[in-house]
Amino acid sequence: MDLTQVFKNNEKWIADKLALDSHYFDNLAKGQQPEVLYIGCSDSRVTAEEIMGAEAGEVFVHRNIANMVISIDLNVMSVINYAINHLEVKTVVVCGHYYCGGVKAAMIQEDLGFLNPWLRNIRDVYRLHKNVLNAIEDEDEKYNKLVELNVQEQCVNLIKTAAVQKAYRDRGLRVHGWVFDMKTGKLIDLEIDFPKILANIMDIYSLM
């Protein structure tokens, strides 16, 4: 990517936006009221706003390797708390994707140095669902399933936070798990049963 081109692209983008709405940037500068918090993978092929057709100001975005919600990661926890308690988003989405390098790396028996503790959380997801995963013979199918189960477990991790629990109780906050299939471009709703998961784990994780 030619970085000098970036600034030319930016000039064109400004002109395009202003041609449609002369107050576009004045309005952007007034503030944000996004209704969705999106937690996705850093993968360069999964362009959060583009795959959702979202405009600037509509989605609060956090991306990290393999769309993880880790309780001691101050970064993701700050984003979650700010989005829920201050921006008062109505929905939180964890979006994984097939062909995720982070998930693949967690399926390999290899010392990946600094990445080990991060990927360890995905290995934990594998362990939790070992019976289901080991019953799948086809490697690609197993890989896809782990991507989906990882999204599900990160939704569970969201539910373990006080911010999500209280916003669910007080104003019906929703949590969704999605997977992006870059081979087709499709965004798939895993239809995770949020109230059922919540009911199942609250005796252990309730912070209220």
Closest separation in Å from C-beta 63 to Co ion: 9
By CB under 5 A, residue 95 contacts Co ion: no
Closest separation in Å from C-beta 188 to Co ion: 15
Tokens 């030319």 sit at which residue? 8
What residues between 101 and 130 interact with Co ion by CB under 5 A? 102
Among the candidate windows 1-9, 77-85, 95-103, 157-165, which touches Co ion by CB under 5 A? 95-103
Among the candidate windows 38-46, 72-80, 112-120, 132-140, which touches Co ion by CB under 5 A? 38-46
Distance from C-alpha of 144 to C-alpha of 45, rounded to nearest angstrom: 17
Decide if 176 is catalytic: no
Sheet of 174-181, strands arranged across: 59-64, 36-41, 91-97, 174-181, 186-189
Report whether 98 contacts 182 (CB < 8 A): yes
Closest separation in Å from C-beta 49 to Co ion: 17
Of 62, 95, 100, 176, the active-site residue reads: 100
By CB under 5 A, residue 148 contacts Co ion: no
Going from the C-alpha of 8 to that of each of 2, 19, 86, 202, the distances in angstroms are: 10, 17, 35, 52
Distance from C-alpha of 158 to C-alpha of 165, rounded to nearest angstrom: 9
Near Co ion by CB under 5 A: residue from 43, 64, 106, 150: 43
Report whether 49 contacts 59 (CB < 8 A): yes
Q: How many CA atoms lie within 13 A of 88 on its CB side?
A: 4
The separation between the first and the last C-alpha atoms of the chain, rounded to the nearest angstrom, is: 49
By CB under 5 A, residue 41 contacts Co ion: yes
Decide if 41 is catalytic: yes
By CB under 5 A, residue 100 contacts Co ion: yes
Among the candidate windows 19-27, 97-105, 110-118, 164-172, which touches Co ion by CB under 5 A? 97-105
Please identify every residue annotated as catalytic.
41, 43, 45, 97, 100
Residues that bind Co ion (CB under 5 A): 41, 43, 100, 102
